[in-house]
Copies of this chain bind each other. A is one copy, B any other.
Amino acid sequence: MISSKKYTEMTEGELERELAALRQEYERCATLGLKLDMSRGKPGADQLTLTQDMLGVISTPQDCITENGLDCRNYGLLDGIPEAKRIFSDLLGIPMQNIIVGGNSSLNMMYDSVARAMLYGVYGSVKPWGKYDKIKFLCPAPGYDRHFAICQSLGIEMITVPMTSDGPDMDMVERLAASDETVKGIWCVPKYSNPDGIIYSDETVRRFARLKTAAKDFRIFWDNAYCVHDIYGEGVSLLNLFNEAAAAGNPDIIMEFASTSKISFPGSGVAVMCASDNNLRQIKSIMTIQTIGFDKLNQMRHVKYFGSADGIRSHMKLHADILRPKFDAVLAAFREKLAPLGIAEWIEPKGGYFISLNLLDGTAKRTYELCSKLGVTLTTAGATFPYGIDPRDRNLRIAPSYPTPQELTEAVEILCLCSKIACAEKLIG
């Protein structure tokens, strides 16, 4: 019999009996030949089909002409078509002239922005970032593994900043940014943070807006990936850092990114970056060497299909309806199977794509391995931290979107089982 008593209050004998029962159950599951994936924030097939009709929404030559008379089928217009800028302007609350509508990937725009800074510097740099012996980025963690991978790839040293329920530990951010000229940036997912699902508090955003940095060319990489990705209704709204920073006399500090990857099609969406006039002037002067322009037909496809920012907002309710039962299933299983045992903590996110599970210290990797052997793939343990090393080895990122509800139920069952085994083993020591 598997128990629901607090593991931390069990005797060693009780724990050993519990572990034996869990292992029996594990052996049974090993015979099921499962193949389930909760590793990446991929939309499910039913979500992809929501925007299927977008594919046919432009067809005639006239459909391809922008409001300022430009032919989307031809070369030109480096920074995107005006009607797409307007929609993102409404959506993000950022002036049209501060927006570049790009290609299919905000990750690509972020990587290019950091690579560009390495090669050329940013507006206000005294030299390219790559000309320093070493530069550093602040990395709130747990965070997005692909942000950390950009730093690692480009040889940028990462300094872990703990996350709180209000966002990154701002005392630490302020101290580090103010004290070291080689600290050049910070990665932020300010709304429904990856993986915790935290929305940065107004105070956190205001402190970012007023941030005093030793480097004259420090940048906040504000990855607003989940700006309209509410699952349980429109909850707490995120304060607009672009406006706040400008009001604080600090307009150049932010580079904001977003995309429709999880609104229309991942891989065939439209990405944007937003920055001050000074920043965009410098960025465009280099971007115009890199490309003649992005895919304007795909931008127009999005414009014709959604029509407006409100069109996107109401479309997101359809995604929420599909995602909500999946998040519910994971959270219900955690509440039922893990909560009583005192071995796990998590935040119940109101949107985004992830649930972040913290187990007992020193059990995340073991849980990941146990799941793997049963055919349940999670995001690699440690991936949510710089260099892939979770100092407490406790965090697992759960991505509930891709599996079907049935698969998800099975996968979470396995996850809970493996978490319990790993924690029981740890407590026995």
Contact = CB atoms under 8 A, between A and B. Distances in A.
Interface of A: 40, 42-43, 45, 48-49, 52, 55-56, 58-61, 63-64, 71-76, 103-105, 107-108, 111-112, 115, 118-119, 130, 146, 149-150, 153-154, 261, 265-268, 286, 289-298
A71 B48 contact: yes
Contacts of A49: 61
Contacts of A115: 115, 119, 290
Contact of A295 (B45, B71, B298): B298
A39 B193 CA distance: 47
A120 to B, nearest CB: 8
A267 B107 contact: no
Contacts of A103: 103-104, 295
B289 A149 contact: yes
A265 to B, nearest CB: 5
A289 B153 contact: yes
Nearest to A288: B149
Contact of A61 (B42, B48, B74, B295): B48
A149 B73 CA distance: 24
Given A107-B290, A112-B290, A292-B107, A42 B267 contact: no
A300 B119 CA distance: 34
Contacts of A298: 268, 295, 298
11 contacts: A45-B61, A49-B61, A52-B61, A55-B58, A55-B63, A72-B268, A103-B103, A103-B104, A107-B290, A111-B289, A265-B297
A111 B294 CA distance: 14
A278 B58 CA distance: 41
Nearest to A261: B75
B292 A119 contact: no
A222 to B, nearest CB: 19
A82 B265 CA distance: 20
Contact of A290 (B56, B61, B108, B297): B108
Nearest to A77: B267
Contacts of A265: 73-74, 297
Contacts of A297: 55, 265, 267-268
B295 A104 contact: yes
A294 B295 CA distance: 11
Given A56-B56, A61-B49, A153-B289, A76 B294 contact: no
B42 A75 contact: yes
A46 to B, nearest CB: 10
A118 B49 CA distance: 41
Max chain B CB contacts within 10 Å: which of A74, A111, A261, A296? A74
Nearest to A48: B73
Contacts of A292: 105, 107, 146, 266-267
A105 B104 CA distance: 12
A64 B60 CA distance: 22
Contacts of A268: 72-73, 295-298
Question: Top 9 closest A-B pairs, CB basis?
Answer: A268-B297, A111-B290, A108-B291, A48-B73, A153-B289, A75-B266, A104-B295, A73-B265, A105-B291
A119 B111 contact: no
A115 B112 CA distance: 10
A74 B104 contact: no
